Amino acid sequence: MEILLPTLLTIITAATPLLYAALGELVTEKSGVLNLGVEGMILMGAVCGFAMVHATDSAALGIFAGLLGGAALSLVFALLVLGLQASQVASGLALTIFGLGLSALVGQDLVGLAYAGLPKLAIPLLCDIPFVGQLLFKHDILVYGSFALTAAVAWFLVGTRAGLIVRAVGDSHAAAHAMGYSVLRIRCAATVFGGGMAGLAGAYLSLAYSPLWVENMSAGRGWIALALVVFATWRTGRVLLGAYLFGGITILQLHAQAAGVGVPSQAMSMLPYLATIVVLVLISRDHNKIKLNAPACIGKPFHPTA
Amino acid sequence: MFIQLIKRLAPSKAMRAASPLFALVITLLTGVILFSLLNVSPARALYAFFIAPLSSLYGWAELGVKATPLVLIAVALSIGFRAGVWNIGAEGQLTFGAICGGGIALWLHQVEAYWVLPLMLLGGMLGGMAWAAIPAFLKTRFNTNEILTSLMLTYVATLLLSLLVHGAWRDPDGFNFPESRIFSEAATVPILLQNTRLHAGALFALAWVALAWVLLTHTLIGFQVQVIGQAPAAGRHAGFSLNRMVWFCLLLAGAAAGLAGIVEVAGPIGQLLPTISPGYGFTAIIVAFLGRLHPFGVLCAGLLLALSYLGGETAQITLNLPLAVTGVFQGLLLFFLLACDVLIHYRLRFQFRRAVA
């Protein structure tokens, strides 16, 4: 019991950035856009958030800057693939390479600076419940936000008219266009939403998880988030499940190292990446399952006059 | 003012050739703005980036050193990209190739024989192929996305290298630094130009460019690559196997990246270190696109991107600019290239008022 609570708490912190990034990408992909630049957007969010916190000393402004950093980068992507009909795969890779370089450039003076971390907000009364209170009701704002976001995305995609339109655009852009919806505008909005959420994932990494800034600190989380969306077969609930599964694997290796298991740390660090491959294989094996849930127009360009 | 995209009847060949030049010019202009923002004189910065590195014979030799892995990998990647096989894990294949070939060098460190180096090169290529075979197998057998698996394997390969040089392969006389032994004379790629680091690997890169051109234009498999890339349906009707194409492209890229990796550690580096590449496997993606997925174009693009690495180092030393500027430039170049490519399929129409649809 004494080990269980800290372990579960660290799983939550490891899962939160994955959850933000994957939920954002889920909405983007549902609209038919495949943005492979999640890694770059996370890094931009991380560096913007950290820089803002050091400039203003305000956690709220830091979080907002992270959101804006990711969203701004995704806007560049949207301009390329929606405005100029560029290849989505190539543009996404470009976004990752560019985000990696730009964040390192912006953050060169931030390396080595410290930050106390986002304040923990205990919810009165609820946090006094033994165990559960400690586990669920003593977190920073971004952890609460990730729960709210999961519920909001699930409700938006399944329960709202706007969500239905997003899905329609992703499943058949020609039909949506014929019905009078502006395919490009809707896709742009979904892409920028995805960028903003990746930015929040980054802000969580640099403001709460680590909290510091180092070059390339996301360490592949953007790509794992992309894999999570496939793993979840584009369903919100399973994104939540997947993010916590991977958070658990990340934490498992940290705890194993701390406990002095006789395996080199590098071998343990391979676990999340290997697990990603295994999980992708298990899901992709069933071709029909992917086909049934994947947005039919994903990655396909759309030009209204063509 | 509004800009409208009007679809061309046929893709413009002129624009396909001009687009990289446009992208380069726009990147340079953006560079001027970027340097002004960083409080560096743009003229001095551009000089440091593009002229100063090439002002000596040593500089030109270094250009060859940096271009070698980029060209080796990018030529192979461009064949895959033509066929729609998105292998973005070349960095991992490079690393695993270096591990396998470097392992042979360490194992045979007391043997001074002419066959050590060829064996290492073979080991490097086979290692790269083995690493690339994993995404190929998963793609063809389980339909797993090769973008994600090849990338995840890059992280695994990097960690594996770190594990080895921190542990089993650490130099016993190396004061506990995470480095392997320095390779013996027989396990080192010969130098082409005295007093420089230009090594025989550059010849492999040139030969590979020529070979790839023959492969694409004069063989059946090259023809299949072109057809499947341009019209997958036509390829299927012609009975070309998509699975075979996936295997072919990935193994080819694995071999090339593995060779690049072993040439790098047996050449300029001379031993195994925790980090052996400044991201050649990723930059090669830019090289492939900038070179229009054509072997000769890739050669030119490889030299250009090699210059960006050299320029970044020069600018760091002479102007105190952060090394990250190189990455920003490389990213910008790919962005602008992708943006300018719109002109291949569309023409622009400028209007002063929005057309009534």
Residues of A in contact with B285 (CB under 8 A): 93, 97
Together in a domain, B338 and B279: no
The answer as to whether A229 is a domain residue is: yes
Looking at residue B355, what is its pLDDT? 54
Min distance A299 CA to chain B CA atoms (Å): 13
Looking at residue B184, what is its pLDDT? 86
Contact call for A86 and B342, based on CB within 8 A: yes
Looking at residue A147, what is its pLDDT? 93
DSSP notation for B164-195: HHHTTTS-TTSTT-S--PBPPGGGSPPBSSTT
The answer as to whether B148 is a domain residue is: yes
Do B132 and B155 contact (CB within 8 A), yes or no?
no
Contacts of B254 (CB under 8 A, 6+ apart): B93, B97, B125, B128, B129, B130, B131, B132, B133
Interface size A-B, in CB pairs within 8 Å, comes to: 142
Distance CA A62, CA A57 (A): 8
Domain that holds residue A82: 4-293
How far, in Å, are A159, B131, B143, B240, B249 from residue B84 at the CA level? 37, 19, 14, 14, 9
How far, in Å, are A7, A116, A256 from residue A123 at the CA level? 21, 20, 32
Contact call for B322 and A287, based on CB within 8 A: no
Distance CA A247, CA B277 (A): 29
Q: How confident is the model at residue A266 (pLDDT cuts 50, 70, 90)?
A: confident
Looking at residue A135, what is its pLDDT? 80
Together in a domain, B237 and B307: yes
- CA dihedral sign, ordered A40, A41, A42, A43: positive
Domain that holds residue B131: 67-187+201-320
Distance CA B86, CA B200 (A): 29
Mean pLDDT of B229-239: 83
Name the residue facing B148 among A219, A226, A305 (closest C-beta).
A226
Residue B164 has pLDDT above 80, yes or no: yes
The separation between CA B166 and the C-alpha centre of its own chain, rounded to angstroms, equals: 27
What is the number of domains present in chain B?
2
Q: Identify the residue among B70, B140, B151, B342 best suited for mutation to test binding to A, counting A beta carbons within 10 A and taking the highest.
A: B151
How confident is the prediction for chain A on average, in pLDDT? 88
Q: Which CATH number goes with the domain that contains A40?
A: 1.10.3470
The answer as to whether A303 is a domain residue is: no
Do A137 and A126 contact (CB within 8 A), yes or no?
yes
The answer as to whether A34 is a domain residue is: yes
Together in a domain, B275 and B349: no
Distance CA A140, CA A66 (A): 16
What is the number of domains present in chain A?
1
Looking at residue B357, what is its pLDDT? 46
The separation between CA A126 and the C-alpha centre of its own chain, rounded to angstroms, equals: 28
Of A14 and B3, more confident: A14
Contact call for B338 and A90, based on CB within 8 A: yes
The answer as to whether B36 is a domain residue is: yes
Take residue A81 and report the two structure tokens written for it: 């693939």
Identify each DSSP E strand in chain A by its residue range.
121-122, 138-139
At B7, is the secondary structure helix, strand, or coil?
A: strand
Name the residue facing A273 among B86, B152, B167 (closest C-beta).
B152
The separation between CA B205 and the C-alpha centre of its own chain, rounded to angstroms, equals: 11
Q: Identify the residue among A217, A268, A277, A288 best suited for mutation to test binding to B, counting B beta carbons within 10 A and taking the highest.
A: A277
Query: Which residues is B199 bridged to in the sheet?
Result: B191
Q: What is the pLDDT of residues A200-240, one digit of tens each?
A: 999 999 999 988 899 889 888 999 999 999 888 899 999 99
Give the orientation angle of helix B57-82 with respect to helix B242-264, to 10 degrees. Answer: 160
Distance CA A225, CA B140 (A): 23
User: For residue A230, what is the nearest residue in chain B, using CA coordinates?
Assistant: B145
Residue B356 has pLDDT above 60, yes or no: no
Do B280 and B67 contact (CB within 8 A), yes or no?
no
Looking at residue B73, what is its pLDDT? 96
Mean pLDDT of A97-116: 87
Together in a domain, B148 and B212: yes
Min distance A189 CA to chain B CA atoms (Å): 20
Residue A187 has pLDDT above 90, yes or no: yes
User: For residue A79, what is the nearest residue in chain B, using CA coordinates?
Assistant: B339
Looking at residue B228, what is its pLDDT? 85
Do A69 and A106 contact (CB within 8 A), yes or no?
no
Together in a domain, B271 and B355: no
Residues of B in contact with A80 (CB under 8 A): 335, 338-339
Name the residue facing B334 among A94, A277, A306 (closest C-beta).
A94
The answer as to whether A299 is a domain residue is: no
Residues of B in contact with A102 (CB under 8 A): 324, 327-328, 331
ipTM for the predicted complex comes to: 0.88
Together in a domain, B71 and B97: yes
Together in a domain, B5 and B117: no
Together in a domain, B240 and B102: yes
Contact call for B5 and A86, based on CB within 8 A: no
Contact call for B327 and A305, based on CB within 8 A: no
Query: Which residues is B347 bridged to in the sheet?
Result: B6
The answer as to whether B101 is a domain residue is: yes
The answer as to whether B194 is a domain residue is: no
Together in a domain, B287 and B349: no
Q: What percent of chain B has pLDDT over 90?
A: 45
How confident is the prediction for chain B on average, in pLDDT? 89
Q: What is the pLDDT of residues B244-283, one digit of tens each?
A: 999 999 999 999 999 999 999 998 998 999 999 988 999 9
Together in a domain, B306 and B336: no
Residues of A in contact with B325 (CB under 8 A): 101, 105
Together in a domain, B85 and B35: no
Residue A289 has pLDDT above 80, yes or no: no
Together in a domain, B152 and B18: no
Q: What is the pLDDT of residues B64-122, one digit of tens each?
A: 999 999 999 999 999 999 988 999 999 999 999 999 999 999 999 888 889 999 999 99
Other Cβ atoms less than 10 A from the Cβ of B171: the count is 17
Q: Which residue has the tokens 């329609």?
A: A168
Q: How confident is the model at residue B1 (pLDDT cuts 50, 70, 90)?
A: low
